[in-house]
Chains A and B, each alone.
Chain A
Amino acid sequence: MHNSSDFPSFTELDCDGAIQEAAANVDGITRAAFMRRTAAFAGGAVAASAFPIAMAQAASGALPSGDLAILNYALTLEYLEAAFYKDALRKGALSGETKHFASVVYAHESAHVEALKKTLGSKAVKTPSFDFKSTTASQTTFQATSKTLEDTGVTAYLGQAGAIKTPAVLAAAGSILPVEARHAAWITNIIAKGSGSPSPAPEAFQKSATMSEVLSAVAETGFITSSLPTAAAGSATSAQPSMTG
């Protein structure tokens, strides 16, 4: 159980506005501006297990504030995903491949949460409270919701790649991005029952989404009940509106 005052609102995650500003720049990009935007990046043939370690080594104290905000944004999305699969498995409405999918993906999202928390250390946001309403109570609503969450995860990670400054953080994000894409394609193929509709790979070039687009979409779900994006960053914790009705 967490104290709601420990959990920053989405607005607080970007309290200096740097991310909104960066997002606005990318949204309205010209080629010249595009080419000026650079960030440090490291990748390469590091073993899978090395990524969480490399990321943890980045030591949150040394990370620029923009990277901290991005990591807390990613952590919030991973908290949401992990809690969603946990809730679905606990409710027991899933069967067959869908149940197997939920179990595998739950383990992955939990690993992402742990890696991000370790990297952020004391700067990690606490897990919000969630209410997934009836979406985890039937196989069909679970599948549709999972597809939305995973597709959103892919666009969210891709959308931040250009904003991350720290090579180890970007390498870690680069190793998570394709895993979210694998999840998205997997659940889509389960829904499609092999028919290709909806398509597990709907386009040749993956779309991305800005942080503000993703946060708006998340807010609209009403899944996060402990804190919602508000304009009043400093006072967001005093009254917690719930969208669960």
Chain B
Amino acid sequence: MSPTHDEHPTLAELDRDGAIEEAAAGVDGATRAAFLRRTGALVGGGMALGAIPIALAGAEGGGLPSGDVKILNFALTLEYLEAAFYKEAVSKGALKGGAATFAQTVSEHEAAHVETLKKTLGSKAVAEPKFDFKGTTSSEGTFLKTSMTLEDTGVEAYEGQVGNIKTPAVLMAAGSILPVEARHASWVRDIIGAGKAPTPAPAAFNPSMSMSMVLSAVKATGFIKA
């Protein structure tokens, strides 16, 4: 099943009215006053694991503010990319041992994230793009490096959006995905470094990235064809 081209917004189309760029610019140049003015709804607490996708699905695309729909489609695009990357890597069979275990586990997680986000967005979900991973899934070495980049970016992307999300259930779901992406990033870094560089936890405070920074980085990979 491949989506028709016109169903799939380009990365630029995800931000048709420029609201995201504007929001990103505001955060990038945040003064403390601007920083403190930026507010969003957030809910956390002791939700059971299984309840999170359900709560998120309960939010329903139709009732979400347009900014949250954009953020969810941004997240969905990143999750499509990750899920497709691991699926291809697993199917190509170039991975062994710990790398193969990692890819299989993470493939399942990213697929679960995709399903949850799609369910939440309903008819507003962007269609899956076509991907070309340019041979990065064909060898263990390139797979691991690419995985590290994707996972580190995923962490920074989710962290960068938490302040922009308005709907509590959406923010709760993002909060439950963020540390999972961080676990993936740490895990693959330790597979690569085996106790040396790259360190699984490179900083005491994780950096974040704006949506425009992430979209530029994704575009630069050339992995998204359609």
Q: Tell whether A pairs with B.
A: yes
Q: Which residues of chain B have C-beta atoms less than 8 A from A48's C-beta?
A: 203-207
Contact yes or no, B159 A204, CB < 8 A: no
**Which of A125-133, A180-188, A218-226, A231-239 is the interface stretch?**
A180-188
B39–A31 contact, CB under 8 A? no
A137 interface residue, CB < 8 Å from B? Answer: no
Q: Are A43 and B45 in contact (CB under 8 A)?
A: no
Contact A52 B205 (CB under 8 A): yes
Chain A, range 72-110, C-beta contacts under 8 Å to B: 96-97, 100, 104-105, 107-108
Given A26-B45, A31-B55, A154-B179; A195-B38 close (CB under 8 Å)? no
Chain B min CB distance to A211 (Å): 9
Bound-complex Cα distance A182 to B208 (A): 15
A42 contacts B175, C-beta separation under 8 Å: no
Instruction: Summarize A's interface: helix, strand, loop or mixed.
Output: helix
Residues in A neighbouring B177, C-beta threshold 8 A:
205-206
Q: Is the CB of A204 within 8 A of B180?
A: yes
Pairwise interchain contact A178-B53, C-beta atoms closer than 8 A = no
Contact A44 B201 (CB under 8 A): no
User: Is B169 a contact partner of A34 (Cβ separation < 8 A)?
Assistant: yes
B residues in contact with A64, CB < 8 Å = none
In the complex formed, the residue of B with least CB distance to A180 is B179
A57 lies within 8 A of chain B by Cβ? yes
A162 within 8 A of B: yes
Contact with A along B107-126 (1 / 0, CB 8 A): 01100110010000000000
User: B162–A174 contact, CB under 8 A?
Assistant: yes
Q: Which of A96-154 contact B (CB under 8 A)?
A: 96-97, 100, 104-105, 107-108, 111-112, 115, 154
Cβ 8 A contact of A182, one of B55, B171, B201: B201
- Complex CA gap A52/B155 in Å reads 19
Number of A-B contacts (CB under 8 A): 276
29 A–B contacts, CB within 8 A, in A order = A26-B47, A27-B45, A35-B168, A38-B43, A41-B42, A41-B162, A41-B165, A44-B164, A45-B27, A45-B160, A49-B205, A57-B32, A159-B46, A160-B44, A161-B171, A174-B178, A177-B178, A181-B180, A184-B183, A196-B105, A200-B183, A201-B187, A204-B180, A205-B53, A205-B112, A205-B173, A206-B178, A208-B44, A210-B45
Q: Output the least CB separation between B66 and chain A (Å).
A: 18
Q: Mark B36-71, 1 if CB is under 8 A from A, else 0.
A: 101111111111110011010010000000000000
Report which residue of B164, B205, B206 has the largest number of chain A beta carbons within 10 angstroms of its beta carbon: B205
CB contacts (< 8 Å) of B44 on chain A: these are: 26, 158-163, 208
Given contacts A34-B168, A200-B186, contact A97 B101 (CB under 8 A): no
Contacts of B43 in A (CB 8 A): 26, 34-35, 37-39, 161-162
Contacts of A1 in B (CB 8 A): none
Alpha-carbon distance between A37 and B109 when the two chains are bound, in angstroms:
28
**Distance in angstroms between the alpha carbons of A209 and B160 in the assembled complex:** 23
For A38, give the chain B residue with the smallest CB separation: B41
- Min CB distance B206 to A, Å, is 4
Query: Which chain B positions have C-beta within 8 A of A51?
Result: 205
Report which of A44, A107, A108, A163 forms a contact with B160, defined as CB distance below 8 A: A44
Residues from chain B with Cβ under 8 Å of A210 in the complex? 45-46
How many angstroms from the CA of A136 to the CA of B180 in the assembled complex?
A: 27
Q: Judge whether A201 and B46 touch: CB under 8 Å.
A: no
Partner-binding segment picked from B9-17, B131-139, B192-200:
B192-200
Asked if A207 and B98 sit within 8 Å, CB to CB, the answer is: no
What residues of chain B lie closer than 8 Å to A184, measured between beta carbons? 183, 186
| Residues on B with beta carbons closer than 8 Å to the beta carbon of A42 | 30, 35-36, 38-40, 163
- Assess the B38–A44 pair: CB atoms within 8 A: yes
Q: Is there an interface contact between A108 and B168, defined as CB atoms closer than 8 Å?
A: no
Contact present for A179 and B39 (CB under 8 Å)? no
Whether B201 and A179, one on each chain, are in contact in the complex, defined by CB atoms closer than 8 angstroms, is: yes
